[in-house]
Chains A and B, each alone.
Chain A
């Protein structure tokens, strides 16, 4: 069984959105993903990190924790913040729902994560923070075996 793990902590600055997705893409590249698979996980990571910045910390300063685990041909990504938490997860996950309509957000963040990854779990406690866990299997690797 192939196993690998990484953990990264960074400030909740919007300039770190590209940093986070580049890191995950570089880590995932050992699974020899297709361009589309790579672009899917980059997009999902970008959405989760953006949520942590805008909603978790509401543009304030905080730490975002990014973890990635590889087990065989699957990657598991965790994006965690210690921010304000989500009051109503079900509502937050509805397509096109945004708690900040004045910001011109599309309300598609969770929908993108759900669509581009194989699974999505959101754990949140008001006042304590949010954990977003996503998994994706890389078909390119299994098809070679």
Chain B
């Protein structure tokens, strides 16, 4: 059942908050041992909160909706581990602003979701808490860093989740897990109560099955940013710029072909499509690294001094790299970001949105550090930077929507908008999902024995 469908069932009182929450908890108990999407589950607390909702007259827009929260975002009374040894016993005293917003809307937090250690990487294979596994093939990664959020939604453990995105960490797992993930504009959603990666880029956002689901969650996180009322209609009147460079070179041709077909489907939904070039596109990754790495090193400096050996090797290497970059590189990064943003703004004067593949490859196997593209072996970490960093660097909203499969594994299409125009991005994503059914595809998993009937699940 999508989050939107669940909201409708709860509003119609066809389902109670307790039934909705207990259904998720049963599914988590049954399936999460194979997926490791959750780091902790608040079963008793969630059921008590759901029962309390049933005793109140107040009915927020997410009344009784179970959600999962990435484990870098504070939930009062629960551990925020960031999938690290350093914060393994860190219990949050209060809710992060984003969690408080969801609770005000009536959502119930069922647990904390696995992440790459300190959200600083894109595999979600923490050496401390184990890898989150992709529901489409449990031998493969979910992407990251919000990998647990992507896996939990894809497997139907929760109808919606929060992730965070610094350089792709919402969009990458959304693509790899075949779900919908929105990175809002930087600054749109409060980061208070979130373990930082790099302050200039960190963004909290939703992962769910559909654009409509993401709009419901974003409307609670940042009222007025988007609403489901704005989703009506097709893509007619939208001008979409296709970032041609990202369909050629550095991408699995099969993935590029799926994304090309998705653009044709978007055009079929009424969008006017044209090819565009983005100035400094190929440099955007290095520009973001120049700023992100020193910011991350600064955020972690107290632990680098006292707990260096407690980091996983990959995260430790990147943090030390940030410590060693000359100070001038940060200033160079700031200056180059200004140039990049100006060039992108020029392009976005002529089109409303950009479209490109979300990732250059299908999800690799757990433990594989390299991917093969056109017969050439490249580091996985480097393969996806040019597809994700440009939009993080610009601070613009970007959504990944499921758009097909390659060798049985999901592929995502990225739709990128102007700053603070999340509503346009979600409108286009919704229009795409009205003429396609990729977002309705489900991995082959055991049927749940929870309280949902098959009809209620929408299966």
- Is the A/B pair a real complex? no
